Structure 1
Amino acid sequence: MKRLFDLVLGLAAGLCLLLPLLLVALLVRATSGGPVLYWSDRLGRRNVIFRMPKFRTMKLDTPAVATHLLDNPDRFLTPVGSLLRKTSLDELPQLWSIIKGDMSFVGPRPALFSQHDLIALRTQHGVHELLPGLTGWAQVNGRDELPIPQKVQLDAEYVRRQSFWFDLHILWITFVKVLRRDGVSH
């Protein structure tokens, strides 16, 4: 049922958001050289690497590490990068990953292949058995502000509590938080 929900909602959202997706793509292209999309190597179900698209918010010469590990990350942002991150518009291309089946709407956020501490803890707690999500229980409870052990604890709680209704609850909280811009990284 979860896969069917992801597929139907992903296709519907993709159709409804087609014009905004095109406008953001044009905006990225017009304000910075290089590709519109950034394809990030991420860990999916069972720690298998997949390529996840995002609208590019960082300059081409940015090191491929988590943003919080960069020294002065603002200097790497494209002219529209900050706006795209604050509004979470940079995440919209992940609809492709959901439709393709690499991701779900709700699950633990996909780790970067280089986040060894996060990967090890998630594997230890069985979180790696789930499809990663566009949003998740850890994201609505602190997102980037959470230390890794606490993030994994929330991901493990999601493993235990997961259900269709819990997913809808998380999607609703995500919608509200995105509108309020709560916990959104710059």
Structure 2
Amino acid sequence: MPVSSVTAPTRPPRPARPDDPVKRLFDVVVATALLLLTAPLMAAVAAAVAVRLGRPVLFRQCRIGRDDRPFELIKFRTMRAPDSARGLLTDADRLTPLGRWLRATSLDELPTLWCVLRGDMSIVGPRPLLPEYLSRYSPTQARRHEVRPGITGLAQVRGRNSLDWDAKFSLDVEYVTSRSLRLDLSILAATVGTVLRRDGISADGNATMPEFLGSRR
């Protein structure tokens, strides 16, 4: 099945902002260290996905990063193909027990560390979302694209997918406004507890967040 979705953004990218050298150095050091430390674990997860779901083991999809620029997000696959002998499957039906566990433990996110090294993402920042959402943000919500998207963020440690979209975006903008290395370190520390407790895996018991159709506020 095609696991890559390359969708053109609904508006042109904004002029690129200059890098924060301290944050970029922090991202590269942390991503490199985590890739080295988790290499055996990533190999084991890749083997498990290959056995349970087949190839490819990676999910690739176009997402929007800083200044509305598209990039390819990479994660471990957690879902079956959308069509099967039983017909078209919902996201809940496509999510396998292995995939559910990978999401609960956030192990599906490990390949995203490569996106950090490429410069498309940061360790901490608003989560990267789909291109079609660009035209649906309010002007305030659109501020989430003033920084690189992150593997974890303020919304992820204050509710994760148990939050609705408006609450998530409010926390994203709060992060953009008050971002600092100290805040990044506190979010990283809180992320460890969130992952270990498996807090806020999904909203309303769904396998994935519902589609964002526009702000209600």
Quick one: distance in 1 between partners of 2:192 and 2:38? Answer: 15
Q: Indicate the residue corresponding to 2:11 in structure 1.
A: none
What is the Cα-based RMSD across aligned positions, in Å? 2.0
Residue 29 of structure 1 and its aligned partner are, at CA, apart by 0.2
Q: Which residue type is aligned with residue 136 of structure 1? A: G
Task: After TM superposition, list the pairs within 5 Å mapping 1:53-72 onto structure 2.
Answer: 53-61=74-82, 72=90
- Unaligned regions of 5+ residues in structure 1, if any? 63-70
Which residue of structure 1 aligns with residue 35 of structure 2?
A: 14
Mean Cα displacement is larger for which, 28-37 or 146-155? 146-155
SS in structure 1 of the partner of residue 154 of structure 2: coil
Which of 7, 22, 30 is residue 51 of structure 2 equivalent to?
Answer: 30
Q: 1:78 aligns with which of 96, 109, 112?
A: 96
Shift of 1:59: 1.2
1:103 and 2:128 matched:
no
- Cross-structure match for 2:185: 168
Percent sequence identity is 46
1:103–1:134 CA contact under 8 A, matched in 2 = yes
Give the CA deviation at 1:116: 4.3
**Contact 1:121 1:149 survives alignment (8 Å):** no
Q: Could you tell me which amino acid in structure 1 is paired with residue 115 of structure 2?
A: S
- Which secondary structure state, in structure 2, belongs to the residue aligned with residue 114 of structure 1? helix
Q: How far apart are the structure 2 equivalents of 1:136 and 1:77?
A: 24
CA shift, 1:97, in A, is 0.3
Normalising by structure 2, report the TM-score.
Answer: 0.76
Matched, 1:136 2:171: no
Cα deviation, 1:7-41, whole Å, max 9, x if unaligned, reads 01101110000000000000000111220000011
- 1:74/1:137 CA distance change after superposition, 3 Å: same
- Match for residue 127 of structure 1? 144
The answer to whether residue 175 in structure 2 is matched with residue 158 in structure 1 is yes
In the comparison of the two structures, how many residue pairs are matched?
178
CA distance in 1, matches of 2:77, 2:200: 20
What is the alpha-carbon distance in structure 2 between the residues aligned to residue 122 and residue 16 of structure 1?
40
Partner of 2:111: 93
CA 1:125–1:40: 2 relative to 1, 3 Å: closer
CA–CA separation in structure 1 for the residues paired with 2:40 and 2:52? 18
Offset of residue 79 of structure 1: 4.6
Q: Secondary structure at the match of 1:41?
A: strand
Matched, 1:3 2:20: no
* Structure 2 unaligned regions, length at least 5: 1-21, 84-88, 208-217
TM-score (norm 1): 0.88
1:74 Cα offset (Å): 2.5
The 3-state SS of whatever aligns with 1:121 is coil
Higher helix share: 1
Cα deviation code 1:44-75 (max 9, x no counterpart): 0011111010100011227xxxxxxxx85321
- Tell me which residue corresponds to 1:52: 73
